[in-house]
Amino acid sequence: MNVLSDNFAEFREGFLKTVELTAYSGVLALLLGTLIAAFRVSPVPALRAFGTAWVTLLRNTPLVLLFLTVTLGLPALGLKGWDDFWLAVLALGSYTSAFICEAVRSGINTVPVGQAEAARSIGMTFGQTLGQVVLPQAVRTAIPPIGSLMIALAKNTAIASGFNVGELASVQKGLNSDQGYNIYVIFLWIALCYLIITFAISGLFRLLESRLAVVR
């Protein structure tokens, strides 16, 4: 008996859920992280303060605590009816956004400040300066660390198994107890599935990196 072929549907289901969870959380983290990075370099003190608070809070809180806050806290605030999957995306995306923000911000810091001043001096607004001049150059240095963060995110999705999301890590729960499979073999297959995902992510980011290097 082979645990993978016997339970292929469960593995496939779990694998796809983990991919989805990683993809949606990743997109949320990238958008939110870039926005918060923009806050942190903006001329508006209130936005800067918000950005700093966001990063400080989320970077220094265990992810499990954030999951608890989102899954128990939001319903308590009256936000009921959210799917467990989307609550997990919210928790993972917010958490990762704090790290993305710092990666983007360190990328921003490598762009000579004189270029931003030149952009402002020809009348470009803060948003235009950031979008047209600073971020396109910041991305080049931010891509490698963002790749690492995405790999960390893929692995962090395992925490969602504790919050009713049927992803990869939760596959073993339904298996090892009753059917008498070797749990090491189960773990090996699950680990291999994660490996596929993380290798795909690092491949994608290496591709992005070389693309951007060519386009200067």
Report the residue from 62, 73, 75, 136 that binds other proteins according to the rule CB under 8 A.
136
Give the span between the Cα atoms of 140 and 182, in whole angstroms. 46
Cβ-based nearer residue to other proteins, 127 or 174? 127
Asked if 119 touches other proteins (CB under 8 A), the answer is: yes
Give the nearer residue to other proteins in terms of CB position, either 32 or 134: 134
Q: Which residues contact 9 (CB under 8 A, 6 or more apart)?
A: none
Q: Helical H runs in 71-182?
A: 74-76, 84-109, 113-121, 126-128, 135-156, 168-179
Q: Is 45 in the site for other proteins (CB under 8 A)?
A: no
Choosing from 52, 69, 128, 176, the residue that interacts with other proteins (CB under 8 A) is 128
Please report, as residue ranges, which positions from 146 to 165 form the binding site for other proteins (by CB under 8 A): none
Examine residue 64 and tell whether it contacts other proteins (CB under 8 A). Answer: no
180 binds other proteins (CB under 8 A): no
**Contact yes or no for 167/21 (Cβ under 8 A):** yes
How far apart are the C-alpha atoms of 192 and 200, rounded to whole Å?
A: 12
* Interacting residue ranges for other proteins, rule: CB under 8 A: 43, 112, 114-115, 117-125, 128, 132-133, 136-137, 216
